Chain A
C-alpha cells in the first residue's frame, strides 16, 4: 500500500498509521488515515454522551439520581481542579480545560477498545499544544500589556532575550511531545506483546492494558491540563 504513510516493521507487528483512501485536494494528494477515523469514533462517543447529559440536566431533579449524579460529579471535579490550580483567574478557562480533559482522556483510553489512540499521532497532539501556546500568548499580551511582555523577554538582562524566546517556543513542543510519546510508547508495547507473543497472549495482557491505557493515559491527561493551567496562570500574573 502507500509506503509514505505505512512504515514497515515486522510482518505481524503493526502500530503504524495506515492510509484508508486518498483524494486530490487542489492538486495535493491528501490521505484520510486511521487517525481520522479513530478521532471520529471518539468524537461521536463524546457527542452521544454530551447529548444524553444535556437531556438529563434539562429535566434535572432536586435530588439527583442515576445519570444526573454522574454528570454533576464530572463537572464538579473538573471545576474543582481548575479552581484549586488557577484560583480567581480560572473563571474563564473552565470550559477549555474541561473540553481538552475529556477529549484527551477519551482518546487515551480508546486503546482499550481496540482503536489506535488518536493522541498517538503527532498531528493530533501538536494542535493541542499550539492552542495552549496561543492562549498563553494572548493572555500575556492582555494582562501584562506590551511593555510587561517585553520586560519579561529581557529578564534579567536584555542579552538573555534569545534564550527566553527559545524557552517560550519550547512550551508547545514539549507539551505535545510528552503526550504523544507517552501514548505512543504504550501503543508500541501492546503491539509488541500481541505481535511477538501472540501464541501465549491470552488473558494477562489485560493487566498491561490497565497500566498503559488507563493509568498512563489518565496521568498524562492530568499532566497536560495541569501544565496548561500553570502556564495560563503564569501569563495572567502581573509581575511588579
Chain B
C-alpha cells in the first residue's frame, strides 16, 4: 500500500513525540535518588561529598533509558528513516 510522504512524515512526528514520553521514567528515578541522597546527607552531613558523587553516578546511569527515547525521537525527526 502506498502512502503519501507527508502522511508518513506527520506520523513520524507523532512517533517522535510518543518516544520522548520515555523521559518520565528517568525523571521519577532521578527524583527518588536525589530524595534518598538528601535524606542520607541529613542523617550524616559529614559524608556529603561521597553521597553526592554516588548520587550523580547513579542518576547518570538511570538517565540512559530516557536518552534512548530521545535518540529514537531524533532519528524519526531528522534522519526520517520511514520516509525514504
A-to-B contact residues, CB < 8 Å: 7-9, 16, 174, 177-178, 181-182, 184-185, 188, 219-220, 222-223, 226-227
Contacts and interface: CB of A to CB of B under 8 A. Distances in A.
A223 B61 contact: yes
B64 A219 contact: no
A185 B70 contact: yes
Contact of A181 (B56, B61, B71, B78): B71
A222 B56 contact: yes
Contacts of B70: 181, 185
B82 interface: no
Interface in B44-84: 56-57, 60-61, 63-64, 67-68, 70-71, 74, 78-79
A175 B61 CA distance: 9
Interface of B: 56-57, 60-61, 63-64, 67-68, 70-71, 74, 78-79
B78 A9 contact: yes
B62 to A, nearest CB: 11
**Residue with the greatest number of chain B CB neighbours at <10 A, chosen from A9, A181, A226:** A181
B67 A181 contact: yes
Contacts of A9: 78
A226 B74 contact: no
6 contacts: A7-B78, A177-B64, A177-B67, A177-B68, A177-B71, A222-B57
Given A9-B78, A16-B78, A178 B64 contact: yes
B74 A188 contact: yes
A18 B71 CA distance: 19
A213 B71 CA distance: 19
Contact of A178 (B60, B74, B78, B79): B60
Nearest to A174: B64
A222 B58 CA distance: 12
A7 B61 contact: no
B57 A178 contact: no
A184 B75 CA distance: 12
B79 A7 contact: yes
Contacts of B71: 177, 181
Nearest to B50: A84
Contacts of B79: 7
Contacts of A219: 56, 60
Contacts of A174: 64
Given A219-B56, A223-B60, A182 B78 contact: no
B16 to A, nearest CB: 13
Contacts of A223: 56-57, 60-61
B30 to A, nearest CB: 12
B63 A178 contact: yes
Contacts of A222: 56-57
A226 B55 CA distance: 13
Nearest to A175: B64
A174 B71 CA distance: 12
A227 B60 CA distance: 11
B25 to A, nearest CB: 15
Nearest to A224: B60
